[in-house]
Structure 1
Amino acid sequence: MTVAVRTRPSLRFRGRSFMALVLAPVVPMRDWLEDLDAVSKRSPGFFSGRAIILDVSELKPSKSELKFLLAALKMRDIRIIGLEGAAPSVLDDDMPTAVNGGRAAGDIEVPDIEAVALPVKAPQPATVSALLVEGSVRSGQSIIHTEGDVTVLGSVASGAEVVAGGSIHIYGALRGRAIAGCTGNARARIFCSKLEAELLAIDGLYKTADDLGAQHHGHRVQVSLDSDSIIVQTLD
């Protein structure tokens, strides 16, 4: 009797290369984000569908600063597939994968920000919507509301973040990250009943826990911008 032996094709691995766009932010971060927004306004689909690597070797960010930057890019619908130049100590499991060894492939043409005059529209009444979170924001959660204010009736845990186009009001303790005025609103503010934040940011300017010091720790505060400075004031 003849027994048929079924043979499987051998497992094959193929290499394929793709072009990736590398974003290399520089300080001051607010100016860099404004330039990024100008590119998006000039060519709304410029970042859409691109594989994008974030090179932070010039910034040498802390973990909180890197999380702020990734959140700012996420709000702009810029998807980062890999991180280059970040110290292993600042990387978390929920961040893009660390990459290295890429070869430069020349510059990619971007719209000329200075040469193009964008049309000026007449002021329109702002449509503001508020988001109410009835409870606390747990570690690992992100509340993102770019259309207006965010009010949290509970606390914001360490490792959680609240992002708003307007102001942020937290009735409990703020232990995570609060990012207000994310769409370019320098008049936005942050209010909380107990300040223990990992990061505070308004309109692209930020302070980490190390920058905040102990003076306002544990107090009820409001946070605002004064020119290029973040001001933290204790509330009675």
Structure 2
Amino acid sequence: MSKTPIDFKGSYFTLPVIYVYDVKPEEIRRAIEEKIKQAPKFFKNAPVVINVSGLDRDSTWNILSQTIIATGLHIVGVCGCKYDKLKKAILRSKLPLLTEGKMLNQDLSKIGYQSTLLKTRLINTPVRSGQQIYARNSDLIVTSNVSSGAELIADGNIHIYGMMQGRALAGASGDGQCQIFCTHFSLELASIAGQYWLSDQIPDAFLGKAARLCLQNNTLTIHPLISD
């Protein structure tokens, strides 16, 4: 048992980022509720970060935050803020101003972040619903099935050689060059460097097929795992 009442330890949590481009409360509420309906297990009562880089200097934070909170989401931080007035309003609401992973990755790449990747993490057993596997500073390979409700996270690439029905988040530290490789592509959610698809965004032609997901021009793009 620890001799101190607390310990500080590093960890990793999956936090969706909501990019807000409009401050009309009704439209924001409707758009969020629609997303929650698409993937209730992932979004319902979820902690979220709000990106306000698309808002103008006269946007009212109190109205915006209350609209988001009313949908059941929990705001844990704000990023992308460019205006002092908006920053002050956010700080008054007792929320932290954060720096996004993609910006962090740009700095890391200058000091050779890619060379710090460790040995690939290998999982040979099924990943059950509710389990989370995180490959810190490395690729992740899973040779068995991944159930719905399970989550795979890697700072590098993710390879799944069984049936994949859970969530896969590659490039978790912001590396947009990472990819997801899957022999049976039926994910609940796929994400690379913060850009994500829900299951209904996967083209029908790739459902259940062998596929490769990558970023092209900062947009998720899917290809056959084996090209003709």
Q: Shared fold by TM > 0.5? A: yes
Q: 2:111 aligns with which of 103, 114, 123?
A: 123
Which residue does the alignment assign to 1:107? Answer: 93
Change in CA separation of 1:200 and 1:110 when aligned onto 2, cut-off 3 Å: closer
Is 1:184 aligned with 2:174?
A: yes
Is 1:172 aligned with 2:147?
A: no
Which residue does the alignment assign to 2:125? Answer: 135
| Counterparts of 1:111 and 1:166, CA distance in 2 | 26
Q: 1:208 aligns with which of 198, 201, 206?
A: 198
| Counterparts of 2:184 and 2:215, CA distance in 1 | 19
- Checking the alignment, whether the CA contact within 8 Å between 2:18 and 2:48 is kept in structure 1 is no
Which residue does the alignment assign to 2:39? Answer: 64
| Counterparts of 2:91 and 2:32, CA distance in 1 | 22
For residues 24-35 of structure 1, the aligned pairs below 5 Å read 26-27=18-19
- Checking the alignment, whether the CA contact within 8 Å between 2:141 and 2:160 is kept in structure 1 is yes
TM-score by length of 2: 0.58
**Aligned AA for 1:190?**
I
**Aligned AA for 1:64?**
A
Percent identity over the alignment? Answer: 28
Offset at 1:151? 0.5
| Counterparts of 2:140 and 2:225, CA distance in 1 | 19
Unpaired runs of 5+ in structure 1?
1-22, 30-55, 74-82, 97-103
When the two chains are superposed, the root-mean-square deviation of aligned CA atoms in Å is 3.8
Change in CA separation of 1:211 and 1:66 when aligned onto 2, cut-off 3 Å: same
> Could you say what secondary structure the match of 2:205 adopts?
coil
**Aligned AA for 2:162?**
G
> Could you say what secondary structure the match of 2:42 adopts?
helix
Change in CA separation of 1:109 and 1:180 when aligned onto 2, cut-off 3 Å: closer
- Structure 1 consecutive aligned stretches of length 4 or more whose deviation exceeds 6 Å: none
TM-score by length of 1: 0.56
Q: How many residues are matched? A: 160
For residues 50-61 of structure 1, the aligned pairs below 5 Å read 57=29, 59-60=32-33, 61=35
| Counterparts of 1:201 and 1:127, CA distance in 2 | 22
| Counterparts of 2:43 and 2:155, CA distance in 1 | 15
Change in CA separation of 1:216 and 1:107 when aligned onto 2, cut-off 3 Å: same
| Counterparts of 2:20 and 2:135, CA distance in 1 | 25
Q: 2:149 aligns with which of 113, 136, 159?
A: 159
Q: Quick check: which one's helix share is greater?
A: 2
- Checking the alignment, whether the CA contact within 8 Å between 2:181 and 2:225 is kept in structure 1 is no
- Checking the alignment, whether the CA contact within 8 Å between 1:224 and 1:231 is kept in structure 2 is yes
| Counterparts of 1:141 and 1:170, CA distance in 2 | 15
Offset at 1:227? 1.3
Which residue does the alignment assign to 2:6? Answer: none
| Counterparts of 2:174 and 2:205, CA distance in 1 | 28
> Could you say what secondary structure the match of 1:59 adopts?
helix
Offset at 1:167? 0.4
Offset at 1:163? 0.6
**Aligned AA for 2:219?**
S
| Counterparts of 1:203 and 1:193, CA distance in 2 | 21
**Aligned AA for 1:124?**
G
**Aligned AA for 1:230?**
L
| Counterparts of 2:173 and 2:40, CA distance in 1 | 18
> Looking at CA atoms only, which structure, 1 or 2, has the larger radius of gyration?
1
